A and B are shown apart, each in its own frame.
Chain A
Amino acid sequence: MNLAVISIKIFRAMITVFLLVLFVFVILRLSGDPAVQMLGLEVDPSALEAFRHRWGLDRPVWQQFLSFFWNFMHGDFGQSFIGGRDALGVVLERLPKTLWLMGLTTIFTFGLGIPAGIYASLHRNTIADRAIMGLTVASFSLPNFVVGIILIMVFGVVFRLLPTSGSETVWHYIMPVVTMATADAAIFARFSRSAMLEVLYSPYMRTARAKGLMWGQAVRRHALPNASIPIVTVGGIYVGRQIAAATITENVFAWPGIGKLLVTSVQTRDLAVVQCIVILVGLTMVVTNLLVDLAYGWLDPRTRTGDGK
């Protein structure tokens, strides 16, 4: 891809980030006095004044936005209600737990979903295929908190096999990971199946067979690489879904990660933390989408010559 196209993509990404910060800023303004929102009503008026000054709330709006932005760039999102600590610190503290959860889920999702989908595509219309298809539809029709609750009921309450909240031991990981992995594994299974099907019955596969390749070789050498292209696209959406899923799953299992922190902060109106999480999440998504976009361009020679509108 030429430099112009890459630059445009990066530029658009930056605009999205800008818009995100603007969004948070606007919401903060619209919903009431930010000082009161952030610090609460019972605080000393001088603290409110100090807050206003620190965040430039006594200056014209555009200046406020600039200082808002500036503070964000320096990692200053305000003070959390939790012990009056720095919001960013509070968030980063919980990050590892969430990352562990997501990491393991990803391994399961890819490890289970994609092979299942490929298997189904290779054994089209057999019982195995139909079973997999049926299972997957059921899986992603279930909101993941329902999956979580059912798992808790079965393994936590009835059989008392697994712990139902917290994250201390390895056993604690099992149910949350399964909960999160279910819907996405289903989606990946369906997706890889249709991607493989599209490729398997395409003309160039027949050509490969005609060349004398064994079926297995043809699949490996031609079908899989080409089917991987749409899978990369889905990868971008996947990260977003993971974040959304984590938000809910962590609450079901009282998992001390960012998802639980977000919901708790919303409930207690700890706006500094909410602000922080929203922007970090947005930033992550924008970067991910950009990378996917670029990777896609590199993988698929058809898109290399430019950004078609």
Chain B
Amino acid sequence: MSEQPLGAKRKTWLDHLFAMPTTILISTIWVVFMVVVALLADVIAPYDFKYMDLLGRLKPPVWMAGGEWEHLFGTDHLGRDVLSRIIVSIRISLFVALLGTLIGAVLGTTLGFAAAHFRGRIDDLIMILIDFQAAVPFIVLALAVLAFFENSFLLFVLVMGIYGWERYARIVRGLALSASSSGYAVAVRVLGASPARVYLRHILPNMASAIIVNMTLNFPETILVETSLSFLGLGIQPPLTSLGNMVGFGRDYLLTAWWIVLLPAIVIFVTSLAFSLLGDWLRDQLDPTLRGN
């Protein structure tokens, strides 16, 4: 709610749209496109992504010699339509990343609040957990967990959820500590509010933008982690497909059927880039005091 000079009208969302630099506009369009694809995957995909046509293996994409219109992007080593697989992979990757980000945010925020509210030993304990998580590279931890337990989809999503919780916890803890000693938190307590009310209706809304900023950072990173793990064959397992999966399994065919690998790789690159740029720009808009990293 910033002050407007006399006579200025409120900026509508259209004004904001036209204020975007071109690259950001393109990124936004791509991101929206990806989301639409993810939502409409069942409808858009020309084939069932699992369907194997063993006679029609390793067909090239339509613009190359030997390509057909039925398989725009060709088929892979098991005769599955590459385009359909890419479409479904987008849905699965985005879904897993979204779920993971949300889980991480809720977990981190709750623990951050707990640390700030209870102080003392609980705070120390949570700080130690944060240090631990920040100390060991996540991929190593994830691999350890995935090594010792059977890799199910549920477990994998949980592991993705744990990625980055410690950053939320640190931020929330810091903000909650300074907020609870600030004027209005004390004032509302004196008015008779319960601690829950103070946190949920006063402190949380005031830190919402910080949490959201962190989520915009966390989301593309989660996509990258999931993709990398899937590439190694330890993430999303067949029959489910993921962009990383496709690159990983298609590696052996790099010489003969490069489209199996390159097309998903390009999608990964462009999507990840688009999310990063958009996230950066959003962060600048939300909080101009944050300097770009």
Contacts and interface: CB of A to CB of B under 8 A. Distances in A.
Q: Do A's and B's CB atoms come within 8 Å in the complex?
A: yes
Interface of A: 12, 15-16, 19-20, 23-24, 27-28, 30-31, 37, 137-138, 140-146, 149-150, 152-153, 156-157, 190-191, 194, 198, 240-241, 243-244, 247-248, 251, 262-263, 265-267, 269, 271, 274-275, 277-278, 281-282, 285-286, 289
A138 B143 contact: no
B273 A27 contact: no
Contacts of B251: 149
B220 A269 contact: no
Interface residues of B, number: 46
Contact of B228 (A145, A153, A243): A145
Contacts of B92: none
B121 interface: no
Nearest to A197: B291
A269 B227 CA distance: 21
B110 interface: no
Contact of B265 (A149, A265, A274): A149
12 contacts: A16-B132, A27-B145, A27-B148, A137-B280, A141-B275, A143-B228, A149-B247, A240-B135, A248-B231, A262-B140, A266-B146, A274-B148
B261 A149 contact: yes
A101 B139 CA distance: 18
A240 B137 contact: yes
Nearest to B272: A141
Contact of B234 (A23, A241, A244, A266): A266
A124 to B, nearest CB: 13
Nearest to A277: B140
B233 A267 contact: yes
A262 to B, nearest CB: 6
List of 7 A-B pairs having minimum Cβ-Cβ separation, nearest first: A266-B147, A31-B148, A141-B273, A244-B137, A244-B139, A240-B137, A141-B272
Interface string B255-293: 100100110010011001101110010000000000111
Contacts, number: 142
A13 B277 CA distance: 36
A274 B132 contact: no
B137 A149 contact: no
Contacts of A140: 276
Contact of B254 (A157, A263, A281, A286): A157
B22 to A, nearest CB: 13
A269 B234 CA distance: 12
Contacts of A243: 137, 139-140
A16 B234 contact: no
B138 interface: yes
Nearest to A275: B144
B57 to A, nearest CB: 20
A282 B135 CA distance: 7
B224 interface: yes
Main secondary structure of the interface of B (DSSP, over half): helix
B128 interface: yes
A27 B233 contact: no
Scoring B140, B220, B268 by chain A CB atoms within 10 A of each residue's CB, the highest score goes to B140
A91 to B, nearest CB: 13
Contacts of B137: 240-241, 243-244, 247, 281, 285
A200 to B, nearest CB: 14
Contact of A281 (B129, B136, B261): B136
A16 B231 contact: no
Nearest to A187: B293
A191 B293 contact: yes
Scoring A27, A191, A241 by chain B CB atoms within 10 A of each residue's CB, the highest score goes to A27
Contacts of A142: 268-269, 272-273
B258 A274 contact: no
A254 to B, nearest CB: 10
B254 A153 contact: yes
Given A19-B128, A138-B273, A243-B140, A289 B268 contact: no
B131 interface: yes
Contacts of A247: 137, 139-140, 143
A251 to B, nearest CB: 6
Interface in B213-231: 220, 224, 227-228, 231
A15 B148 CA distance: 23
Nearest to A274: B147
A243 B136 CA distance: 10
B141 interface: yes
Given A247-B140, A274-B147, A137 B131 contact: no
B254 A149 contact: yes
B35 to A, nearest CB: 18
B292 A194 contact: yes
B18 interface: no
Contacts of B258: 153, 157
A144 B138 CA distance: 16
B127 to A, nearest CB: 9
